Amino acid sequence: MSHAPAASHAGHNHGSGHGHDHGSEHGHSSIGHVIDHDFGAATNGKIAMWIFLVTDGLTFAGLLLGYGYLRMRNPQWPNPQELLGIALTGAATFLLICSSLSMVLSLAAAAEKKKSSMLMWLFLTALGGAGFLGIQYYEYSHLVHEGMTISGLAKPEHLEGAWRFAGVPENFASTFYIVTGFHGLHVTTGVIYLLVLLIKGMRQREITPEFYNVLEIGGLFWHFVDLVWILVFTFIYLV
């Protein structure tokens, strides 16, 4: 008789513990983690994004290695700082780094279910990316006007101002546009994704774990884009 309550209590604890474990396996541990049956807190989307970033990083590595090879093989390769707008591109780099910080703050606000703050920082992130693209377009348009196109360089006798490119190898222009343009395509994709998230977040009453998950995936891509640009800026503009 005296052991019956204890046995009942133990059975109750066992049942509660089993229910808790079952709920933890299929439920949500927090606003920041969606539990997946196969990967736990690392959802299918995050795993897929990491795989994509690894392969995409190899693509950028190949482009930069090719650029470095062409530069080492050509003694007439110019000093990029003499032909490209370092100050303007430096401002664009600072803007992109700031957008990476605002993405972190957006995720932090989302984790605390502060919808208005999350939307504000997310908008500033997209705005920073759009500003970077605007500066890149401005740079491209001026270089093309001066005679530097992806197909080659204008001759000084054919275009006024093209004297700056006298003696510059033709592949200097093509490698510049291919590498920076490929990165610009990534920034464009990221800005579009961020704007989609912004619209989706505005339509939701509150921040759900599912929304936080896709926001994290977007954050992974955006931080990757920022990191790659630092390497591109260093190799193409500074070295």
Same domain, 6 and 51: no
- Domains held by the chain: number: 2
Domain range for 145 is 42-238
In angstroms, the CA 224 to CA 89 distance is 19
In angstroms, the CA 235 to CA 89 distance is 13
Residue 37 covered by a domain: no
What's the whole-model pTM score? Answer: 0.79
- β-bridge mates for residue 153, sequence order: 148
Better-predicted residue by pLDDT, 74 or 194: 194
Q: Copy the structure tokens of residue 234.
A: 């260093």
- Residue 69 banded pLDDT, cuts 50, 70, 90: very high
In angstroms, the CA 161 to CA 169 distance is 17
Same domain, 161 and 214: yes
Q: By mean pLDDT, which of 16-20, 42-46, 90-94, 234-238 is the weakest?
A: 16-20
Domain of residue 150, CATH code: 1.20.120.80
Same domain, 136 and 168: yes
- Residue 146 banded pLDDT, cuts 50, 70, 90: confident
Same domain, 90 and 2: no
One-letter amino acid at 139 equals E
Residue 80 covered by a domain: yes
Q: Copy the structure tokens of residue 176.
A: 């510049």
Q: What is the pLDDT of residues 79-88, one digit of tens each?
A: 888 888 789 9
Same domain, 24 and 73: no
Same domain, 96 and 210: yes
Q: What is the pLDDT of residues 151-183, one digit of tens each?
A: 877 655 555 555 566 677 888 889 999 999 999
Residue 131 covered by a domain: yes
DSSP strand E in the chain: where?
28-30, 33-34, 148-149, 152-153
How many CB atoms sit inside 10 A of residue 23's CB? Answer: 12
Please name which of 192, 43, 196, 198 lies closest in space to residue 115, comparing C-alpha atoms. 198
Same domain, 57 and 144: yes
Measured torsion, CA atoms of residues 179, 182, 186, 189, in degrees rounded to the nearest 10: 160
Same domain, 97 and 143: yes
Residue 58 covered by a domain: yes
